Amino acid sequence: MFHKEGFKIITTVFLISAILAVSAHFLIDNEYLEKGVLIIVLIVLFLILQFFRNPKRDFKLNTSQVLSAVDGKVVVIEEVFEKEYFKDKRLQISVFMSPLNVHVTRYPVSGSIVYNKYHPGKFLVAWHPKSSEKNERTTVVVKSLEFGEIMHRQIAGAVAKRIVNYAEEGQDAFQTSDSGFIKFGSRVDIFLPLGTKINVKLNQKVKGGITILANNDN
């Protein structure tokens, strides 16, 4: 199963791959060179299919939990001053995505979308300390009944050149449903209220819509 954001690219790459494979067969006399071209074509096609995959998952919704917005590895857990929207201290959890991760961005909680903004910017590597402030990014805040306002921020990276964001202010957000897509790897930051019980550790691998980042089971 593939994400809708990949349909056009997958079709284009498949057609180009087919043309290159046929051309290599008729235009290249060297058997080893022809096989080399075919192997490269198949590898590129495989990577594109990997990138846009959208596997079916057994989501378990829970209003007392904040679920990971994306697949990847936890690279930041710290208290920060969030100056775009909250203008106060928050707990930040950042998840870095490699090009081989599933790149669907999912709502970590259910609620009402109270803030949504796109910021043009640079394309620093996603683990750069200033990437969350300098890079192209989108910021979405969902007001949930259990946690109050939760922010998640999609951040472009050195490879990721396109952020897709489906959120609109005033709409309802539903936990695990698609919030957007980041093409070709990057990072997502989630900002939680101070005192929220964190459920993950640094360098832990997480799955979007599955892994519990934080909970409020008081």
The position carrying tokens 């201290």 is 89
Report the pLDDT value the prediction gives residue 26, as an integer from 0 to 100: 78
- Amino acid at residue number 128: H
* 84-137 tens-digit pLDDT: 999 999 999 999 988 788 889 999 999 999 999 998 876 666 555 555 666 788
* 1-56 tens-digit pLDDT: 776 776 888 888 889 888 888 888 778 878 888 888 889 989 888 888 877 788 88
* 70-84 tens-digit pLDDT: 999 999 999 999 999
DSSP 23-78: HHHHH---HHHHHHHHHHHHHHHHHHHHHTB---------TTEEE-SSSEEEEEEE
Q: Which CATH class is domain 65-215?
A: mainly beta
Q: Which of 131, 144, 179, 186 is catalytic?
A: 186
Q: Is the pLDDT of residue 140 over 70?
A: yes
Active site residue 68: no
For the chain, give every domain's residue range.
Answer: 4-51, 65-215
| Residue 80: closest CA among 183, 153, 162 | 153
CA distance 139 to 119: 8
